[in-house]
Amino acid sequence: MNIACIAWGSLIWKPGPLKLASDWMPDGPRLPLEFVRDSDDSDELALVLHDPAPPMPTYWARLDAAGLDDAREMLRQREKIRPAYPHWVGSIPNPHGPADARIAPWMRARGLDAVVWTAVPAKFAGVGERAPSAHEAVAFLAGLDGERRARAEDYVRRVPADIRTLYRALFEERLGWTPRQS
């Protein structure tokens, strides 16, 4: 089965248990992305799908997976998604709802049988499905110090430079967190 994973954040530089069968390619589907999820286990403000945001470039890689269930489980484990939230691992085919119309045509054009991606929602200040405003996002990151701030800055700066979100522009302007040079 020809399966791929779509990524835009730390999966690209830290795939963990995700078994890649190719390098990351820069021509993934354009998806609405923004830095609107405070991470459960670190101080980063993660880049996630966020429908109000404009479409951004994404990356993709082929997976070494026995099938869709295997691919979904690898991604679930990598993202530390609890089994109670299977819909936070997006996929086509999707056993938990309709296929994402933004991704299906892209998948077909590349001759893929299946695709998986992280579908966690926005979360801020402990409130699920709540996105921080741009001001709140900058204030949150600016309020971090020491190692916490260094981890958050590293995450933002490692996101591929071609992912130019509104919040990222503000992080660059107000915090000086420009993309790392490759």
Taking a C-beta distance cutoff of 8 angstroms, is the pair 19, 77 a contact?
no
| Residue 141 in this model has a pLDDT that exceeds 80 | yes
The residue ranges of DSSP E strands in the chain, in sequence order, are 3-7, 31-38, 45-49, 55-56, 59-62, 89-92, 114-118, 123-124, 127-128
What is the C-alpha to C-alpha distance for residues 156 and 179, in angstroms, rounded to an integer? 7
Give the model confidence (pLDDT) of 86-102 as tens digits.
999 999 998 887 778 89
What is the C-alpha to C-alpha distance for residues 39 and 126, in angstroms, rounded to an integer? 10
Residues with Cβ within 8 Å of 116's Cβ and at least 6 positions away in sequence, in order, are 3, 4, 5, 6, 63, 68, 71, 72, 75, 89, 90, 91
Residue with tokens 């000086």: 176
Percentage, residues of the chain above pLDDT 70 = 98
DSSP string computed for 90-117 = EEES-TTSPPPTTTHHHHHHTT-SEEEE
| Residue 139 in this model has a pLDDT that exceeds 80 | yes
Residue 169 pLDDT class (50, 70, 90 cuts) = very high
Range with lowest mean pLDDT among 75-84, 139-148, 173-182: 173-182
Enter the pTM of the model.
Answer: 0.95
Amino acid at 84: A
Main-chain phi, psi angles of 6, to 5 degrees: -100, 140
| pLDDT (mean) for 45-62 | 97
Write out the two tokens for 108: 């077909």
